[in-house]
Amino acid sequence: MKSRFKAILVQKNDKGQSADDVELALGDLMDGDVVVAVSHSTVNYKDGLVLTGRSPVVRKFPMIPGIDLAGTVAASSNPNFKPGDKVLLNGYGLSENHYGGYSEYARVKGDWLVPLPPAFTAAEAMAIGTAGYTAMLAVLALEDLHVTPAKGAVVVTGAAGGVGSVAVAVLAKLGYRVIASTGRPEEEAYLKSLGAAEIIPRSELSADPKPLAKERWAGGVDSVGSKTLANVLAATSYQGAVAACGLAGGMDLPTSVAPFILRGVSLLGIDSVQMPMPRRRQAWERLARDLDVKKLASMTKTIPLSEVRKAADDILAGRIRGRLVVEVR
């Protein structure tokens, strides 16, 4: 292991918050029983919030951002992991209250680690990242409520983003008729290449919602929230379900009880941060089975660690298509 290594450190002072390139030693890292040599991370919407300070995500300063990481175990006192093991980590408070993936080394709890599925390289696992893993959790939740392809179409909002891109690709491979909602009409060819059968403009779902609308889909995966989620719920068919996993459009939900008590619609909350390990592993196993690696490559761009701060601004502005992988070393 290196005696000194590079990282990005978010610090706060009287003038505000900054994200700086630094050199650290292993002794600077937080407690844990496994040291991971991080090869790849990724840029998610939440990472953008942390790096820019636009939302109070960080609970402890200073903080190394990066809610995902993948790499190789460098040292371990945890009986479940040994040096050389390939691992990945999503959530568990990384970049909130525990140092995250924008560092060449991370010391973490072994109980947080998932063995890297043999189907994926570390780079591919981070091309999936928290966004893709969250999308898979949403698909599993819909399946639990028996929202099958035979029940009807499924709508995906924010479809050109990270969660949306993976959700479209997975749902299409599973046989669903996918309706992709996006505010970027220029991405129609991209979304259809992932398997979307129909593209609808974001404006169709961003108007003031009615209590109920014409039934259009059996289920949905929503990463937007606010009026968009309310409109998705209003147009969900009898005993359908919508998995909510994001708030790009806002934290409010201006809806009524009508979809729930008149159509028996279910609203499924998707949390990826503290998801219990059995479900977490199930999601990664299903991604290995149900996500086309070629489609994953088509939605992925790779950047060096030095470009992460610019990417943070771009992802918050909605200028990022698909997934951004960060080469840490």
3-state secondary structure 235-277: CEEEEEEEEECCCCCECCCCCCCHHHHHCCCEEEECCCCCCCH
**Cα dist from 119 to 16, 87, 208, 295, whole Å:** 43, 13, 44, 14
What pTM did the predictor assign? 0.92
**231-254: average pLDDT:** 96
**258-266: average pLDDT:** 98
Share above pLDDT 90 across residues of the chain, in percent, rounded to a whole number: 95
CATH 1.10.10.10 for domain 129-269, yes or no, is no
Q: Tell me the DSSP string of 10-47.
A: EEEETTEEEEEEEEE-GGGSPP-SEEEEEEEEEE-HHH
Contacts of 275 (CB under 8 A, 6+ apart): 91, 137, 283
Contacts of 273 (CB under 8 A, 6+ apart): 91, 92, 93
Q: What is the dihedral of CA 220, 134, 41, 52, to 10 degrees?
A: 70
What pLDDT, on a 0 to 100 scale, did the predictor assign at position 19?
Answer: 93
Domain spanning 5-116+299-327: which superfamily?
A: Medium-chain alcohol dehydrogenases, catalytic domain (3.90.180.10)
The per-residue pLDDT of the chain, averaged, comes to 96
**Cα dist from 112 to 80, 90, 100, 260, 278, whole Å:** 11, 8, 12, 36, 12
Q: Would you say residue 16 has pLDDT above 90?
A: no
Q: How far apart are CA 71 and CA 82, in angstroms?
A: 13
Where are the chain's structural domains? Answer: 5-116+299-327, 129-269
What pLDDT, on a 0 to 100 scale, did the predictor assign at position 233?
Answer: 98
**57-77: average pLDDT:** 96
**96-110: average pLDDT:** 98
